[in-house]
Structure 1
């Protein structure tokens, strides 16, 4: 009996997503959106990072492929020009350390793709059932105390998958790679399809390996392969994992087609055996390589590189940059940097300028301040992230990007924080903003206000959020638990301020983190801190 497959699998059999490129360019030349076949515009375009933009009436979003967020000023300048020319002057940093921008028309796409190719970038496999952008430590190669420099490995993994073309263009679902070597494990190996993390074995630096992580509506932490990966094995192992997923992953139901379900069903031992079968050799087994210590961190601030230069972190308000922001950052990196003058995008939707001589830090920060890109922002700006939300995304059920900005500015004005707290806004359960691993996770849900009527005379339905607390990564990872099921979106700022205020008042000492305070607080108490200020008669909505 033939194995039943889902509709997208049938579509891929008819024409692989990788094969849509020439058609896409032809559609762009023709400029007729309505003439594009539905299967191409709704699905296959994704293989080149292109999504239809809500409400699906002629505009697109494009997501770039920028391995580990690694850029140079000349590339960012071109991206700024593209945003200014085609995308109404703005773009967003994503949690996978790349950029995406909106409001593109079909006629724009050839010019945009060509401009990206000309500067050594692309959008291939930024979406679709293929290997996505490789995430990594943004300070790989410059941190003084890193376990191993993963910068080249991140680029090599990305290049390998892109150059493989059709070999990995028809995976069961998206496939998210991660590699990093810093001691903070900021690249979040536990929530990616595979995560190489810095480790040592008998004094030799290399990597531990987790496989089968992922979030969305059914989150899983990656399972440890209990193996030490030598640096010269990284590409072969990454390729082997992709082959295991391609050949053994589920293709009947889209909702169970991610690698995390295969690994959860088969277990780590089967998964490691399958990887070794593809490699045709045993890895170095090491039962001590189970879970890397990790924390919410994005390397913000100003620090010293191993070569004596400085890096300067720039927290970006909910990840949204104007074209001018991009151009200014590129210009200042070029003006004050030395050597490669590198730029990095981070997993918390921020930016870091590398290779700044110590004597240039002060004038650079003055100019960044003047450009609205201050490195010296409130601690919440370092960590607050947001997905695209219902403004553009077909899956989102609430608006996030603008509300996240309003909430952030309110909290910056009304709280005085000396610890990092990760607040993640997402518009639907698909977890683009990784709300299940945030200190405070907010996932969009409609809320019905029974005491108010809409234009149709029925109870008014407004944007709202579930509130999750208690998540952590690292040696004892856990996902956040729902503490409040429905909080009105325009009053969520009151709940967040109350949580932060009580944390600051009640923490045991200055070193107790928000997560530690949550751990020792009763869920009922935390729920009351969220709901009481929101339900108060004098609760004022935040709408501007």
Structure 2
């Protein structure tokens, strides 16, 4: 750990920053991490808990260190949303786990997809969700089965290590890495190098909070750059060679902030050490006193981009990074990877839309069969809860489209099927207040029936609590789950509504909250239909929904 620099004055009140001498744990989470590295729980799961069962699990492992290997206890069935913040953790716990399989870069082979499918069907009651972090989540996992699950996943090069916890989580990548016609640089080697060198290393296994990374060599597919802890985005450098633009400090949840661009040009070979430097700053200077202020976004907000870059270069890299051009993209572009599109090599990729990311092991196995039958060994997950099959010859395109759509995996879906996402919700999540997946599916069906000709770009993101796992603040229509009062005075499931969020670099901003704008779950289809009809009636030629929201009268948004 480097010494504190002169530029970093000791604060009046300790925030738990290691580099400033505050090493004593200041909350229960920090105490647990000091007592034992989360990576050490693997041996106990294999040798103790899987043999003795759920009741043998130390609570500090169960609700803490298990996350270092992608395991969360799932919500016990039958507990309504009004009790989410009232009951103790042990009262919310089921005796089963959600298991998150990390898929760095969103890259899967047919053998890897089949392994995930087999784990789902054998050990997870055939559950599977494609997440907006390019992972796959399974449910109903028993601790007794975890060693066998790990054996199966690791046999094909997959892992659950550091899929959760205060760690460097899955590294997002462009699903089209290496094949997009307009790609600047393929970020796959950088993702692999960071994974090999640092994931599972004690060097970064005790961070103040989670640490989310994006490495995309294609600015057109890097729309989440502003909401990750660190993002490397492809750009042509001042010397004409390809490299990466660097952003730090984005994040959503209950205190959303957009990442700051550091103004550097990072050469491809520098990416792993720059990533480690930023992660090291977070580890050493990050705020550990209060969990809700422990993300790196709070540090860079206080320091600013200029000071952060100075500390990175002087204390962690030992050299100055070159100044670099902005990797900005044109406004209005949307690349969600759905549909049939040409690759660099003349073949095609085919992207398709499950219903809000909800699939099953059986369905994933079928996708593996379809891909293999059409000559592909490369499947990709996306940050929009979609799947993509690469490397399809032109004369096989219509065949694979027909095979996928026969499984209700739509390649040419409606706007609503294509651009609606939902988090896990109250079905399995202990933080949730309302149901999400089923509500979002119903909303899609209703909107398709009521507005069959609607063809404008429109994102609808549904979240079961304020934590924004489904990115509600940056959706055209963001729905934050909460209990609301219906017309009869009853407390029922409903949503606070955010309108007009965007991640376009010129118009990036969080959705507009209109005072009192809420809807019960039952009212939701009526509300969305109403506001979309007003948009269609009032919009100017070529005007996006988010732009219309900024100028619309409040009455038109209700």
Deviation larger for 142-151 or 410-419? 410-419
Contact 1:186–1:298, Cα closer than 8 Å, also in 2: no
The equivalent of 2:321 in structure 1 is 283
The equivalent of 2:539 in structure 1 is 507
1:174 aligns with 2:174: no
Contact 1:389–1:427, Cα closer than 8 Å, also in 2: yes
The equivalent of 1:541 in structure 2 is none
Q: Secondary structure of the equivalent of 2:484? A: strand
User: TM (normalized to structure 2)?
Assistant: 0.89
Contact 2:153–2:159, Cα closer than 8 Å, also in 1: yes
Q: How does 1:4-15 map to 2 (within 5 A)?
A: 5-15=26-36
Query: Deviations for 1:151-193, whole angstroms, at most 9, x for unmatched residues?
Result: 2222322333215x11100000000001112232435111000
The equivalent of 1:127 in structure 2 is 164
The equivalent of 1:535 in structure 2 is none
Contact 1:465–1:488, Cα closer than 8 Å, also in 2: yes
Deviation larger for 289-298 or 260-269? 289-298
Q: Secondary structure of the equivalent of 2:401? A: helix
How many Å apart are 1:318 and its aligned residue? Answer: 0.5
Unpaired stretches in structure 1, ≥5 consecutive residues = 453-458, 529-544
Q: How does 1:162-201 map to 2 (within 5 A)?
A: 162-163=199-200, 165-201=201-237
Counterpart Cα distance in 2 of 1:389 and 1:296: 27
Q: Secondary structure of the equivalent of 1:374? A: coil
Q: Secondary structure of the equivalent of 2:280? A: helix
The equivalent of 2:113 in structure 1 is 76
Counterpart Cα distance in 2 of 1:29 and 1:427: 31
The equivalent of 1:326 in structure 2 is 364
* Matched length: 515
1:468 aligns with 2:468: no
How many Å apart are 1:382 and its aligned residue? Answer: 1.7
Tell me: CA distance 1:221–1:293, structure 2 relative to 1, closer, same or farther (3 Å). Answer: farther
Counterpart Cα distance in 1 of 2:527 and 2:308: 43
The equivalent of 1:536 in structure 2 is none
Q: Secondary structure of the equivalent of 2:470? A: coil
How many Å apart are 1:292 and its aligned residue? Answer: 5.0
The equivalent of 1:62 in structure 2 is 99
Query: Deviations for 1:108-136, whole angstroms, at most 9, x for unmatched residues?
Result: 11111111111100000100000000111
Q: Secondary structure of the equivalent of 1:389? A: coil
Unpaired stretches in structure 2, ≥5 consecutive residues = 1-13, 15-21, 77-92
Which of residues 279, 282, 299 is equivalent to 2:337? 299
1:227 aligns with 2:264: yes
User: TM (normalized to structure 1)?
Assistant: 0.92
Which of residues 357, 365, 377 is equivalent to 2:401? 365
Counterpart Cα distance in 2 of 1:442 and 1:210: 27
Query: Deviations for 1:451-479, whole angstroms, at most 9, x for unmatched residues?
Result: 53xxxxxx421111111012111323111
Counterpart Cα distance in 2 of 1:88 and 1:448: 35
Contact 1:337–1:354, Cα closer than 8 Å, also in 2: no
Query: Deviations for 1:80-112, whole angstroms, at most 9, x for unmatched residues?
Result: 111111111120011100100101111111111
Q: How does 1:127-526 map to 2 (within 5 A)?
A: 127-163=164-200, 165-202=201-238, 203-277=240-314, 278-286=316-324, 288-289=325-326, 293=330, 295-338=333-376, 341-415=377-451, 416-449=453-486, 451-452=487-488, 459-476=489-506, 477-483=508-514, 484-509=516-541, 511-522=542-553, 524-526=554-556
Q: Secondary structure of the equivalent of 1:352? A: strand
The equivalent of 1:48 in structure 2 is 69
How many Å apart are 1:291 and its aligned residue? Answer: 5.2
Tell me: CA distance 1:368–1:26, structure 2 relative to 1, closer, same or farther (3 Å). Answer: same
Q: Secondary structure of the equivalent of 1:214? A: coil
Q: Secondary structure of the equivalent of 2:186? A: coil
Contact 2:223–2:504, Cα closer than 8 Å, also in 1: no
Tell me: CA distance 1:324–1:290, structure 2 relative to 1, closer, same or farther (3 Å). Answer: closer
Counterpart Cα distance in 1 of 2:276 and 2:40: 21
The equivalent of 1:107 in structure 2 is 144
Contact 1:135–1:187, Cα closer than 8 Å, also in 2: no
Q: Secondary structure of the equivalent of 1:176? A: strand
Query: Deviations for 1:262-315, whole angstroms, at most 9, x for unmatched residues?
Result: 0101110111112112010000013x4275556553121100000111000111
Q: Secondary structure of the equivalent of 1:490? A: coil
Counterpart Cα distance in 1 of 2:49 and 2:146: 6
Counterpart Cα distance in 2 of 1:293 and 1:131: 30
Tell me: CA distance 1:391–1:167, structure 2 relative to 1, closer, same or farther (3 Å). Answer: same
The equivalent of 1:34 in structure 2 is 55
Deviation larger for 258-267 or 329-338? 329-338
How many Å apart are 1:4 and its aligned residue? Answer: 5.7
Q: Secondary structure of the equivalent of 1:468? A: strand
Contact 1:145–1:183, Cα closer than 8 Å, also in 2: no
Query: Deviations for 1:319-366, whole angstroms, at most 9, x for unmatched residues?
Result: 00122210111111111024xx21000000000000000110011111
Deviation larger for 365-374 or 23-32? 23-32
Tell me: CA distance 1:512–1:187, structure 2 relative to 1, closer, same or farther (3 Å). Answer: closer
Counterpart Cα distance in 1 of 2:326 and 2:405: 43
The equivalent of 1:542 in structure 2 is none
How many Å apart are 1:206 and its aligned residue? Answer: 1.1
Counterpart Cα distance in 2 of 1:49 and 1:526: 44
Counterpart Cα distance in 1 of 2:52 and 2:392: 44
Deviation larger for 375-384 or 216-225? 375-384
Contact 1:296–1:422, Cα closer than 8 Å, also in 2: no
Contact 1:140–1:149, Cα closer than 8 Å, also in 2: yes
